[in-house]
Structure 1
């Protein structure tokens, strides 16, 4: 079980890290398009949760697996993939001199101005973004925030895969 979790977790992590770097390179805007494409990339990477759980069921358990065991294997794969995503984000932050929050904040405020948002609301948003930028300088906070992006996706995929792949008894038995 451990070998399958590690193998497929590393594959999922490599895919999401590669796609993340590609998305960052190709989509300069940190808005909705970038976010949507990133979540789609997470789903593509986490397709290996299904592959890993199914392989575990077929090769290690003779085609029989209960929901709980399937979920544990899937969640293990997703956790490793998520950890790699978080580490890849930290590498990106390091090589870009930690400029993400400044760029994101500027883009967000510019979007508010373009929509014609009132000056008071823009000032409030600027204060909130300044506070967030300060918090984002803390690596633990930043890693937790990054984990909060991908973690729920991995959890949801693991639950769905466990439900789809579960087979508590052999067919025909």
Structure 2
């Protein structure tokens, strides 16, 4: 189980990290960059769908085609945790070493896309966010909160689809 968790978790994590770095670089290099949250979360769901294949691979090759809901959920959650942890660690290094002004760039981007009537409230909200982002623990928590719930949701769906218990022998 450990091998599958690490293999699939690291594959997910590496692709998520590459996507994150590309998107941040696009935001920095293109002032007209228009991000799309729907596309971003759709990409996460597609990447996290590898959880299904990781659990299915383990079920078929190691468990003879049977896995309980609990074991499938546990394995899927661990894969999501490995991928998300890699994403968080890379973001911490990337943020602190390469884009320490990210919050300023992000704030500018958000404020230029904000409706004029919401500008004052959004400015205050982003100022609070910038202050909280000075704390590395907050950075870790907020980064996990943007990625891990998607992985856990996919792990839950995968466990529901893959659970299969052997039929009891009634003889």
TM-score (normalised: structure 2) = 0.86
- After TM superposition, the structure 1 = structure 2 runs for residues 84-103 of structure 1, keeping only pairs within 5 Å, are 84-103=86-105
Question: How much does 1:98 deviate?
Answer: 1.5
Measured against aligned partners, the alpha-carbon deviations of 1:13-64 in whole angstroms (never above 9, x if no partner) come to: 111111222222345567641x333323322321221111001101111000
Unaligned runs of 5+ in 1: none
Distance of 1:89 and 1:38 partners within structure 2: 16
Q: In structure 2, do the counterparts of structure 1 residues 36 and 95 end up closer, same or farther at CA, with 3 Å as the change threshold?
A: farther
Q: How much is the aligned-residue C-alpha RMSD, in angstroms?
A: 2.0
Determine helix, strand or coil for the equivalent of 1:65: coil
Counterpart check, 1:126 vs 2:98: no
Distance of 1:153 and 1:143 partners within structure 2: 16
- After TM superposition, the structure 1 = structure 2 runs for residues 72-111 of structure 1, keeping only pairs within 5 Å, are 72-111=74-113
Distance of 2:26 and 2:9 partners within structure 1: 25
Distance of 2:125 and 2:24 partners within structure 1: 24
Contact 1:23 1:37 in 2 (8 A): no
Runs of 4+ with deviation above 4 angstroms: 27-32
Distance of 1:6 and 1:159 partners within structure 2: 18
Distance of 1:131 and 1:99 partners within structure 2: 15
Determine helix, strand or coil for the equivalent of 2:165: coil
- After TM superposition, the structure 1 = structure 2 runs for residues 1-173 of structure 1, keeping only pairs within 5 Å, are 1-27=1-27, 28=30, 32-33=35-36, 35-112=37-114, 115-117=115-117, 121-169=118-166
Contact 1:19 1:41 in 2 (8 A): no
Distance of 1:78 and 1:162 partners within structure 2: 13
Determine helix, strand or coil for the equivalent of 1:98: coil
Measured against aligned partners, the alpha-carbon deviations of 1:60-86 in whole angstroms (never above 9, x if no partner) come to: 110001111100000000000000111
Distance of 1:79 and 1:62 partners within structure 2: 25
